[in-house]
Amino acid sequence: MCFLILIGLPGCGKTTFCSYLANCLEDSKHVVDPPFHFLVHVCYDKIINTSDNVPWNEARRKIASTIDEMTGKLKNTKDPQLVVNEYNMNIIVNKAAVSTRSLILIVIDDNMYYRSMRYQYYQIARTHQTSYCQLYLKCDVNTCLARNFERQTNHKIPEDVVLKMAGNLEEPNACNNYWEINSICISSDKPYNHNSLDPLYAIIMAAFSHPVKPVPENLHKEQSQFICSSNIIHQADLALRRIIGNLLRENTAYDHKQMQQLSTDLKIKKQDLLQKLKLGELQLPKEIIEGTEVNSGAIYSFFLKQMI
């Protein structure tokens, strides 16, 4: 089993790509056979649109939790279709190949523009010792805006949201994040064909050959400290984004230019704080590091807000 995380702006062609991939799996006449036999398409837009009166962040957390649960069941079943149908997910089957092996590709179809959004699924893959890879569908922002404009009214994303997302998008970077090593970038400005799939299939095959390993229980103290530090930095990044978002919303008296400057200043402070955490120049309260307090998350946010 392998996760394929799609990364890209609204209108870059993620869902179109999923449809093309599904057609390749169902049609035996394609030049290159897909290196998997089941395709589970998890489309965030479709799921969230059917979640009545549920806050956006809560809906996202619920999807990730559902996928985590479903992955555990898929690991222990001989009938993937039955499990996936239980969760009302879309599954496409290559019936010609199922009799020999049953490799499952779970495609997470969402913007995933923040690295922390993707890391959540890497953690799920590590928990279940499944494989993990990423596909960044790179597309010119003007092309994305034009495609978005052609969508039905209820599916359109506000232009300012797309532009903001483009400015915040964190491209895969395996040099700084080892867990993003199985990543590939494909241009989605033009229609997909089998030539664009060849490199992706190679990445998927590499991922299937090297499932994510669990964290060993007998880690040396230095390794344990490194993992703890990485988690603290990851949580700090999430907390700082929330804090900055709240600060920007609070300053309603600012004009557009002042808001842009404030946003830039806060982002610089955020990067400075994260760098100090990485270098050990900023010491966190003991209850945050140990998680001994029930409200350690709130303490963490309060501490970081004082710093910024």
> Same domain for 119 and 227?
no
> Same domain for 162 and 13?
yes
> Same domain for 104 and 251?
no
Strand, helix or coil for residue 7: strand
Longest dimension (CA), the chain: 65
> Same domain for 148 and 249?
no
User: Torsions phi, psi of 199, nearest 5?
Assistant: -65, -30
CA atoms within 13 A on the CB side of 122: 18
List, in sequence order, the alpha helices (H) in 129-255. 141-149, 159-168, 194-209, 221-250
196, part of any domain: yes
Token pair 């350690």 is found at 296
Task: Determine the structural domain holding residue 274 and report its residue range.
Answer: 221-307
> Same domain for 122 and 230?
no
215, part of any domain: no
> Same domain for 132 and 229?
no
Q: How many domains does the chain have?
A: 2
Q: Please answer whether residues 10 and 165 qualify as being in contact, where contact means their C-beta atoms are separated by less than 8 angstroms.
A: yes
216, part of any domain: no
226, part of any domain: yes
Per-residue pLDDT tens, the chain, 308 aa: give them.
999 999 999 999 898 888 888 888 776 555 556 778 888 999 888 887 655 677 877 888 889 999 999 999 998 888 888 889 888 888 887 765 555 557 899 999 999 999 989 999 999 999 999 999 999 999 999 999 998 888 877 778 888 899 998 999 999 988 888 889 899 998 887 777 777 778 888 889 889 989 998 866 554 444 445 445 566 677 777 777 877 887 788 777 788 888 888 888 888 888 887 777 776 666 655 544 444 333 444 555 555 565 55
How far lies 235's CA from each of 180, 290, 307, in Å? Answer: 18, 13, 15
Q: Please answer whether residues 212 and 131 qualify as being in contact, where contact means their C-beta atoms are separated by less than 8 angstroms.
A: yes
214, part of any domain: no
Q: Please answer whether residues 167 and 37 qualify as being in contact, where contact means their C-beta atoms are separated by less than 8 angstroms.
A: no
> Same domain for 143 and 243?
no
For the chain, the distance separating the N- and C-terminal CA atoms, rounded to the nearest angstrom, is 42
Please give the helix or strand (H or E) that residue 90 lies within, else none: strand 90-93
> Same domain for 120 and 173?
yes
